[in-house]
Amino acid sequence: MNLIYILDIIGTFAFAISGALVASKKKFDLFGVIIIAFVTAVGGGMIRDILINAHPINWIADLNYIWTILIAVVFTFLFKSKIAPLSKTMFLFDTIGLGVFTLLGVQKGLLFNLHPFVAIVMGMVSAVMGGVTRDILTNRIPLIFKKEIYAMASLAGGVMFLTTNYFKLTNNIQFLATITVVIIIRLIAVKYKLKLPQIKEDLFTQKNRN
């Protein structure tokens, strides 16, 4: 069992807990909580595999993902009052998961001989689409569309992975560099409340005001 696989399981666990917490706040029953935890944790990877026609899909090929999600749901039910306040800890796990899922997505895209740009997009899909699916199913505007630098951190991590891969650096350096870039961008974005600009006015609106 290598380091990246361990981090992948940790990221899956953290994403599943975040999904379970959201479903719990929405007062979903146990089945609903499991479904939301599931799509949050492996939905991005599943969408990626469907898009690139990769079979078997990740969680079907490795049942450890299912067991990890179920354990996360049980853990959430038992310790919900203790987990919810640990926002900094969950943020760290979530960010690590974002970085790991990004590099796994880019790596798989390259393995399927996709164009490097498309491979980066597959990395982002792996990292963020689980959360998007979670928010849609729980009737929320996906967080990546309205606040914080999240998807862009994933894209930056994907670019870093491609760069280190181009120079044929070792796998450990590629993984470390990718995850570090994602973590640094997320930390800076949250600390300084950075977000992408919104489209509020166009040239004609500004002229009318003048």
Residue 206 has pLDDT above 70, yes or no: no
Q: What is the pLDDT of residue 3?
A: 76
Quick check: 42 and 58 in contact, CB under 8 A? yes
| pTM, to two decimals | 0.87
Per-residue pLDDT tens digits for 30-47: 999 999 999 999 999 999
Q: Ramachandran region of residue 204, left (φ > 0), alpha (ψ -120 to 50) or beta?
A: alpha
Supply the mean pLDDT for the chain.
89
Quick check: 68 and 45 in contact, CB under 8 A? no
CA-only gyration radius of the chain, Å: 18
Percent of the chain predicted with pLDDT > 90: 61
Distance CA 158, CA 138 (A): 29
Distance CA 159, CA 185 (A): 13
- In whole angstroms, how far apart are CA 111 and each of 54, 116, 122, 139? 10, 11, 12, 35
Residue 202 has pLDDT above 90, yes or no: no
Q: Which DSSP string do the residues of 3-63 spell out, in sequence order?
A: HHHHHHHHHHHHHHHHHHHHHHHTT--HHHHHHHHHHHHHHHHHHHHHHTT-SS-HHHH-T
Q: For residue 95, name the pLDDT band (cuts at 50, 70, 90).
A: confident
Residue where the block lists tokens 């898009």: 51
* Pick from 103, 111, 127, 109: nearest CA to 176: 103
Q: What is the pLDDT of residue 83?
A: 79
What is the phi/psi pair of residue 75, to 5°? -60, -40
Q: For residue 208, name the pLDDT band (cuts at 50, 70, 90).
A: low
Per-residue pLDDT tens digits for 151-186: 999 999 999 999 999 999 998 899 899 989 998 999
Q: What is the pLDDT of residue 203?
A: 63
Q: What is the pLDDT of residue 210?
A: 58
